Each structure stands twice: as structure tokens, then as C-alpha cells.
Amino acid sequence: MIPRYSLPEMTRIWEAENRFKIWLDIELLALEAWSKLGQVPPEVVRTIRGRAKFNKDRIDLLEKELKHDVIAFLTSVAEFVGGEARYLHKGMTSSDVLDTSFAVQLSQASEILLKDIDRLLSVLKLRAHEFKDTMQIGRTHGIHAEPITFGLKLASWYEEMKRNRKRLCEAVEQIAVGKISGAVGTFALVPPEVEAYVCQKLKLKVDPISTQIISRDRHAHFFTTLSLIGATLEKMATEIRHLQRTEVLEVEEFFSEGQKGSSAMPHKKNPVLSENLCGLARLLRGHALTAMENTPLWHERDISHSSAERVIGPDATILLDFMLQRMLRIIESLVVHPDQMQANLEKMRGLFFSQRILLALTEKGVAREDAYKMVQRSAMKVWEEGVDFLETLKKDSQITRHLSAKELEPLFTIGDYFKHVDAIFNRVFN
């Protein structure tokens, strides 16, 4: 991922130093396991542990000649260890190191992502309660529907992000598996006890059955989950963009002192952070597709997945880390305009009470279809003539035949739309 969308903590997980460190841990743990089985003298383990190092620049140089990254790594380590290096990589194949290491890196990355989600959840909860009773018109198809509160909108985002957290935990459980089963996965030259020891020490589960690699359905699940989290962030960002439109202007991204919105128009304040998140979510979806296409490989393995994973592993996790932290800052500093929400709520002159009139007519014995036509006739006058909905209803003889003016007026009580907000909040925030 380019530096513009990379944060240091996540980036370090994917740097070569960390990757080679994990590789060395795997090799040394396998060596310890062999020793516990009586196949490697304990003093050899102590000697190798005391000498084992690698040199990144040397590995890069060796790989240019050898055209094999794991062999280049083992050669570099051997140059530090000496003759005892013959005990390293005993019975193993490259994918034992690569796939197990990838599982560790994805697990490390997920720890950061879960922390990001927890911080975002905390801010969403705080601001949802702040605006729990702030009235806002609900919209369907982009058109005024019935009233909600802005707090309910934030609470719905909170609930969705809670589901995303659960999904990520499930995806991590699927991905946090290792394999030390040798070529084609039969344990021909390395016993299952070595695999179990290495995975236990690395806090991974053992893959119950592997070929030469861990099956990529696990990875497809993981990267699809990251994409889904990104889709939630895009949903939130899209809503903020709509609500910041000049004609709506119910919320705004914080516009800092000295910030500029346009190179040409000094008056501009644009929702650039939310727009940025919408674009980045598209990238995440692409990585999910790549992970799915990595699933069908030839026979017990090929390496068509390898090049793709070298990109999507770092890029997807670094990207989502950036996106979560960006959305955290957007919600934290979001400027909310309750007065404008109220003004927009009143813009259609009471039209959103139409369902209440419809139901009141049916309770008076009017057939629903007939009641719908009667209410719609008055509603269309509000759209077309800009008149007041209640006054129009009072002048409609077909309506007043069933509902008097005295009966109509209480139906225009807005508080009834919010009588269950506390119950919804209790369900969401427990």
C-alpha cells in the first residue's frame, strides 16, 4: 500500500524484518519439537538458538541468484549458524514456513483491526446517545419518509459494526491455522507432533488436513470479511456525503482552520474524507475477489496464489486499518446541525403524517385501498401546490366524512414517532 494510506503499526507487520523473524521462529520451534522427540541433540538446539540470525540484504542478494525466497533465507541463517544448520528445516517444505507465517501475520494484523473497530464502536455509541432525541426526517429512495432521530442512524451503524467485529473474529479463527506437514501434506518426513508443537507455541490451531498448502477458502473468507467491513464504512461515508449536500446540510465533516476545499472556488467545503473512504472500499472489494480466485489451485498446490497474496495481504489489512481510523476521526469530529434537521423535517408541511391518516381512516371502517386514494389525493396537492397537509385534509369532504378536524389534529403529533427510541437503544446497547 502506498504511504498515503498506510499507518506505521500495521505497516511494520508486513515489513521484511517481521516476516523473516516469524520464519526464524518457525524453524527454531520445529527444531525444538524434533529435540523433544529425541531426533536432535539438546545442545544443538542451544547452539543454533544462540547463533541464529538473518541478514535481510544478504537474503535479497541470494534470492536474485537462487530464485527462491525460503532457500535464500535458510542460506543466510546457515551462514550465521554454521554446520549445525543442517538440522534446520528437517522434513519441511517451503509452504510449511510460508503459510504458517502468513497465518501469524494475518493474526497480528487482525489484532490491530479489532482495536480499531472497538474504538470506532465506542465513538459511535457516544455520539448515538448524544443525538438520541435529535429529530431528523427519515428518507427512502432519497425522498422524505417518516421521522427518525439522528441517534437512531448512528445506533444502526453501531449495530452493524458490532456484527462486523463478530465476523472478523470468526474469520480470524478460520485463518489462524498453521501447517508443518511437509511436501503434499502427508507428514512423510515430519511427524504431526512437530506441527502441533510449532502451532501451539505460535498460538495457532493445527490445520486438520493440508496439502502442500493450507486451503485458500480460509483466506477467501478472511478477505471477504475485510471487504464487508469496508462496505459498512462506505455505507456510513455515503450517508454523510448525502447529508452534507448544500440542499440538505444536516451534518458536515469538520473543516479545520486553514483547510481549503477547492483550488478554484474559495467557498467550497467538501466531504473529501468520506469520498476517500468510498473509493478505498472499492479497492477492498477487489482484494476479496482476488482471494476467491486464489482458492482453486492445481492438485496439491501451485503458486498462482502466491504473487497475489504478497499484494493483498499487506494492502487489504493496511487499507482497512487506515479506513477504520479515518472513519473514527470523521464521527468523532462530525458537525451536526439539529436546526437544519428540524427545518428539513418541516419542509413538506406535515406530509410525513400520511400513514397515520391512512390507518385512522381504516379504523373508521374505510377500505384500505379507498383510504389510500383519499389520503394520496390530498398529499399530491402538498407536492404540487405547496399547501399545508393538515389544512388540505380538513377541506376534503371525503376525509371529513370519517375524521373531523378535531380528530385529525391529534394525528399530527410528532412525539408518537419516537416513543420506542429508548427501547431500541436498550436492544442495541443492552
Provide the whole-model pTM. 0.95
Rounded to the nearest 10 degrees, the angle between the axes of helix 192-201 and helix 16-36 is 130
Q: Which residues contact 96 (CB under 8 A, 6 or more apart)?
A: 26, 30, 179, 180, 181, 182, 190
Domains of the chain by start residue, with CATH: 92-255+263-342 (1.20.200.10), 348-429 (1.10.40.30)
What is the enclosing helix (H) or strand (E) of 136? strand 135-140
Q: What is the three-class DSSP state of 144?
A: strand
CA distance 26 to 63: 20
Share of the chain above pLDDT 70, in %: 100
Nearest Cα to 41, choosing from 187, 49, 53? 49
Rounded to the nearest 10 degrees, the angle between the axes of helix 421-429 and helix 150-175 is 20
Positive or negative: CA dihedral 81, 83, 84, 87: positive
Decide: 145 and 139 in contact? Cβ < 8 Å.
yes
Q: What is the chain's length?
A: 430
Nearest Cα to 214, choosing from 129, 112, 353, 101? 101
Q: What is the mean pLDDT of residues 266-289?
A: 96
Decide: 119 and 44 in contact? Cβ < 8 Å.
no
Catalytic pick among 262, 304, 307, 404: 262
Residue 257's pLDDT band (cuts 50, 70, 90): confident
Residue whose cell numbers read 455520539: 127
Catalytic pick among 89, 94, 122, 141: 141
Q: What is the three-class DSSP state of 209?
A: coil
Quick: pLDDT tens for 77-115: 999 999 999 999 999 999 999 999 999 999 999 999 999
Our answer to whether residue 129 is catalytic in this structure is: no
Quick: pLDDT tens for 112-135: 999 999 999 999 999 999 999 999
> What does the mean pLDDT of the chain come to?
97
Decide: 152 and 424 in contact? Cβ < 8 Å.
yes
Quick: pLDDT tens for 303-339: 999 999 999 999 999 999 999 999 999 999 999 999 9
Question: What was the pLDDT predicted at 430?
Answer: 87
Our answer to whether residue 107 is catalytic in this structure is: no
CA distance 215 to 212: 9
Q: Which residues contact 224 (CB under 8 A, 6 or more apart)?
A: 288, 291, 292
